[in-house]
Amino acid sequence: MNKPAGMPAPLIRLADYQPPAWSVSDVDLEFDLAIERSEVRARLVLQAGPDPQAPLRFNGEGLELLEILLDGEPLPAGRYRHEHELLTIEGVRHGQVLETRVALAPAANTALEGLYLSGRRETGFLLTQCEAEGFRHITFFPDRPDVQARYTVTLRADRERFPVLLAGGNPAGHGELENGRHWARFVDPYPRPSYLFALVAGRLERISQDYRTADGRDVALHIWAEADVIDRCDYAMDALVRSMRWDEQVYGRNYDLDVFHVVATHDFNMGAMENKGLNIFNAKYLLADPDSSTDEEYLHVEAVVAHEYFHNWSGNRVTCRDWFQLSLKEGFTVFRDQSFSADMNSASLKRIQDVSTLRRAQFSEDAGPLSHPVRPAQYREINNFYTATVYEKGAELVRMLAGRVGPQAFRQGTDLYFERNDGRAATIEDFVGALGEASGIDLSPYLAWYGQAGTPRLQARGNYDPANGRYVLELAQSTAPTPDQPHKKALPIPVRLSLFNADGQAQRLRLADSEQDLGTETVLELTDQRQRFEFTGLSQPPIPSLLRGFSAPVVLDADYAPDQLAILLRHDPDGFNRWEAGQQLALMAYDRLYRGEDASAALQAWTEALADLFAQPDLDPGLLAELLSPPSETELAERQVDIDPEHIHHLRHQLNDAIAARIGLPPLLARYQALAAASTSALDASSQLRRRLKQVLLGLLSRLDAKVAIPLAQAQYATAPAMTDRLAALTVLLNTGAAEAGPALADYRRRYADNALAMDKWFAVQARVPGAAALARIEALAADPAFSLKNPNRVMSLLGIFARANASGFHRADGKGYAFVSHQLQVLDALNPQVAARLATALNGWRRLESGRREAAHAMLRELAARPQLSRNLAEIVNRILE
């Protein structure tokens, strides 16, 4: 993995794509598994590519080659080369069988890629992670997704130490061996790429359920976890069954093997992995119980279980031709899991949360040096491209396409896509083409969205002429240059809109050159840089509700007056746009506060409307909680150059304070107390939403009067029936700086010392506490015996939260936050390059900091870039950030 100093990893370009010179049709793998040293024998049936004279070049990294044979004959040393992470053989022929035997050291593998150990040597289990390029750490192979082969896998191990042996595909026999060893075999009838290979071996417990697919296949579902957490897997099983039904009903997709295994591990670089028939999950996204998981975590479990299951079609049956097409499976699958969660819960709340995430994670990514298109043109390390852009923006592009063609054609289009590309490695053109063909609409202009980085800005200006009742809406788009793309094209932007009158009633829509009554909502498609749309028959000046449901991933710049937004906030029946009107008002107020101008008009319009909504007893508590939450600090910071994160933190407080002051202490307190009196650990949607509102109210109370809020938080902590309330109370105690926080933290620690996921939250809640005291707290926590740089969840809970979600604590004026994280990064990089690279993305926005912080961050990055032993992962991120 580590490159010699001064030699950057090569740049891999989409434009250079070539089909493989040598491919493999059949893979037969035999593993002799042990913690310290495992052996792998691979028999590969070779398939010639376009040029049968070409040398064979297979990937292999960190492999100790023990034996190599061609058609059963040992290859003499001169017939092959093994250097630069490649195995090269000249003169092989189509149909020959290449056989290798290699040794691996799983317990020494701290990068958690390939075959590794989860947990401790004495008690842990072995597992694999192969996406994107982990299979080459297991055996020599053309490790690229357009090589699809049939796999037979045999596992052998000591029965006592490894009672459970699992691999992807269907079970195909098992038995005893000498010396207390046993074996198990698995055959996958579906050709698949190497990144979907998986095995698991060790001491695991399971829960099981039978499932019959809509097309009549009986499937055994098994969720596996270590004994101490197996009783926390029931919710995941429930979510799995609901996902399987939903995919049958909504996409007509059935599961296709006799077994489906899901395994939980505490040591995992990412969220989860969709290996064929053997999904492997970060425990954080699989385990759930009221005592140790928050409501939000339950939603994550539901979404990630669905996501990985949905990959069985969008990813596994139809995979990606190359890693540039990653969003083909990830963007589509995120869209699918978002739609599933919307169907299972409140659709407008789900949309609000997804758009908040997009703005926080993707818009900020796209606004800095790490900006890249949904289909990147180049990379050095593909693991650095599992990004919010590929995932979340990719999902938005699928959503736009689905909206453009309509639900019926979308279903016909996805059917066509799955049928036509089943068993193939496809491209984004295959997907967009199938939707276009099924709908009869030319979708090719939308392909430009996949190749163009940056967030478009949509400008809207309206003009009403009372003399003839006409309203002209002028839409214009622009996208700022990004590192590799100085000039941006106009993109097709669907703008879903309604026009409201001053009483908050949606008007019937009619365009000037048409007789058609469009109803009260329509979609305008902006295809040029600038276009005018003229509506007729309007007796009053309309208030446009634009981009309803967030119909395109753009930043809207509209010339609203505060009162107009307040009307939308009060009346728009579209829950998303109602929330959006409130966010726009908050931003309007914030911009003025930031510039030191009078913000009272916007603040008043916003908080008055919120106070009235607060008084409506029938408003959905989940929506109310979102309405009462101003945009995140990250979103606020996007609006400025020369950012001072402490100042922004302070201004966001002012927004919260304005809401709290306008509603007033007695109503806030009364509502909080009513919710608190009725609190339970029930998990139904409405209980969850009431808990969410209660949490927001406690936060507002703490801003208004800490003396009132602290005893409430203390009582809530002490009597909390479940984790959501307990953690919310702890957060308020910590954020108010209350002395009561200390005992609560100590109590929490005693209670959850043996619960890794709950302890992650113990670190995270402290890492999030803002302000100047943060760094000292983080340093102490990093030295805590419960902290470890070897565990990705722990690293992200402490260092990830600090650097990415605590701007006022991390971006200190004295630069000491950077120095601390730089040191941690260097140690971490030697252990786990993927996690180090992800942590380093926290510095993406350094150029937009005010000069003092900018200089400090710049110096830290330059120093880091100059270090000789950086991994390919971290080097790529640091160098791109510096470019």
Beta strands in 422-478 (DSSP E): 425-426, 457-465, 470-478
Candidate residues 273, 286, 658, 675; the one interacting with ligand ARG per rule CB under 6 A = 273
Choices 266-274, 394-402, 727-735, 766-774 (CB under 6 A): range interacting with ligand ARG:
266-274
Catalytic-role residue among 99, 113, 274, 308: 308
How many CB atoms neighbour CB 14 within 10 A? Answer: 17
Residue whose CB is less far from ligand ARG, 266 or 853: 266
**Strand order, beta sheet including 86-89:** 56-59, 86-89, 80-83
Rounded to whole angstroms, the Cα distance separating 749 from 744 reads: 9
Beta bridge partners of 256: none
Residue whose CB is less far from Zn ion, 299 or 860: 299
Binds 270: which of Zn ion, ligand ARG, none (CB < 5-8 Å by kind): ligand ARG
Tokens of 561: 């007056």
Residue whose CB is less far from ligand ARG, 381 or 725: 381
H-helix or E-strand spanning residue 167: strand 164-167
| Footprint of ligand ARG on 811-870 (CB under 6 A) | 834
Based on the shown chain and the rule CB under 6 A, indicate whether residue 131 belongs to the binding site for ligand ARG: yes
CB of residue 270 vs ligand ARG: minimum separation in angstroms? 4
Three-state SS letters, 15-67: HHCCCCCEEEEEEEEEEECCCCCEEEEEEEEEEECCCCCCCEEEECCCCEEEE
CB of residue 805 vs ligand ARG: minimum separation in angstroms? 21
Residue whose CB is less far from ligand ARG, 269 or 822: 269
Three-state SS letters, 351-392: HHHHHHHHHHHHHHHHCCCCCCCCCCCEECCHHHHCCHHHHH
Binds 359: which of Zn ion, ligand ARG, none (CB < 5-8 Å by kind): none
b/e 504-527 (16+ beta carbons within 10 angstroms → b) = eebbebbeeeeeeeeebbbebebe
Based on the shown chain and the rule CB under 6 A, indicate whether residue 269 belongs to the binding site for ligand ARG: yes
Q: In this structure, what DSSP letter does residue 228 have?
A: G
CB of residue 334 vs ligand ARG: minimum separation in angstroms? 8
CB of residue 250 vs Zn ion: minimum separation in angstroms? 18
Rounded to whole angstroms, the Cα distance separating 113 from 14 reads: 24
Tokens of 805: 């979600």
Choices 42-50, 80-88, 116-124, 263-271 (CB under 6 A): range interacting with ligand ARG:
263-271
Give the max Cα distance, the chain: 95
Binds 132: which of Zn ion, ligand ARG, none (CB < 5-8 Å by kind): ligand ARG
CB of residue 386 vs Zn ion: minimum separation in angstroms? 9
Cβ-based burial of 54 (10 A; exposed 0-12, middle 13-18, buried ≥19): middle
Residue whose CB is less far from Zn ion, 59 or 319: 319
Handedness of CA 700, 704, 705, 706 (dihedral sign): positive
Q: How many residues bind Zn ion (CB under 5 A)?
A: 2
Binds 564: which of ligand ARG, Zn ion, none (CB < 5-8 Å by kind): none
Contact 451, 375 (CB under 8 A): yes
Does residue 252 come out as left (phi exceeding 0), alpha (psi in the -120 to 50 range) or beta? left
Q: How many residues bind ligand ARG (CB under 6 A)?
A: 15
- Reference 787, options 774, 776, 798; nearest CA is 798
Binding mask 322-361 for ligand ARG (x = CB under 6 A): --------x-------------------------------
Residue whose CB is less far from ligand ARG, 272 or 602: 272
CB of residue 395 vs Zn ion: minimum separation in angstroms? 10
Binds 375: which of Zn ion, ligand ARG, none (CB < 5-8 Å by kind): none
Choices 120-128, 325-333, 469-477, 692-700 (CB under 5 A): range interacting with Zn ion:
325-333
Binding mask 371-390 for ligand ARG (x = CB under 6 A): ------------x--x----
Rounded to whole angstroms, the Cα distance separating 123 from 35 reads: 10
Candidate residues 132, 720, 729, 733; the one interacting with ligand ARG per rule CB under 6 A = 132
CB of residue 333 vs Zn ion: minimum separation in angstroms? 5
Choices 199-207, 272-280, 441-449, 619-627 (CB under 6 A): range interacting with ligand ARG:
272-280
Binds 298: which of Zn ion, ligand ARG, none (CB < 5-8 Å by kind): none
Contact 473, 462 (CB under 8 A): yes
Paired sense of beta strands 164-167 and 38-48, if any: unpaired
- Reference 310, options 244, 361, 372, 250; nearest CA is 244
Binding mask 331-370 for Zn ion (x = CB under 5 A): --x-------------------------------------
Choices 303-311, 415-423, 541-549, 838-846 (CB under 6 A): range interacting with ligand ARG:
303-311
Query: Residue 476: is the preceding peptide bond cis (ω within 30°)?
Result: no
Based on the shown chain and the rule CB under 6 A, indicate whether residue 270 belongs to the binding site for ligand ARG: yes
Candidate residues 308, 392, 626, 740; the one interacting with ligand ARG per rule CB under 6 A = 308
φ/ψ of 70, rounded to 5, equals -120, 125
Choices 265-273, 452-460, 578-586, 774-782 (CB under 6 A): range interacting with ligand ARG:
265-273
Give me the residue label for tokens 């150059």: 641
Three-state SS letters, 270-333: CCEECCCCEEEEEHHHCCCCCCCCCHHHHHHHHHHHHHHHHCCCECCCEEECCHHHHHHHHHHH
Rounded to whole angstroms, the Cα distance separating 383 from 660 reads: 44
Choices 215-223, 242-250, 330-338, 588-596 (CB under 5 A): range interacting with Zn ion:
330-338
Residue whose CB is less far from ligand ARG, 395 or 625: 395
CB of residue 280 vs Zn ion: minimum separation in angstroms? 12
- Reference 851, options 793, 806, 811; nearest CA is 811
Candidate residues 28, 247, 274, 289; the one interacting with ligand ARG per rule CB under 6 A = 274
Choices 268-276, 282-290, 799-807, 841-849 (CB under 6 A): range interacting with ligand ARG:
268-276
- Helix intervals (H) in 665-722: 665-677, 685-704, 706-719
CB of residue 811 vs ligand ARG: minimum separation in angstroms? 28
CB of residue 330 vs Zn ion: minimum separation in angstroms? 5
308 is catalytic: yes
Residue whose CB is less far from ligand ARG, 395 or 675: 395
Binds 760: which of Zn ion, ligand ARG, none (CB < 5-8 Å by kind): none
Residue whose CB is less far from ligand ARG, 427 or 834: 834
**Strand order, beta sheet including 493-500:** 522-526, 493-500, 543-545
Q: Catalytic positions, please?
A: 308
Task: List residues near Zn ion by CB under 5 A.
Answer: 330, 333
Task: List residues near ligand ARG by CB under 6 A.
Answer: 131-132, 269-274, 307-308, 311, 330, 383, 386, 834
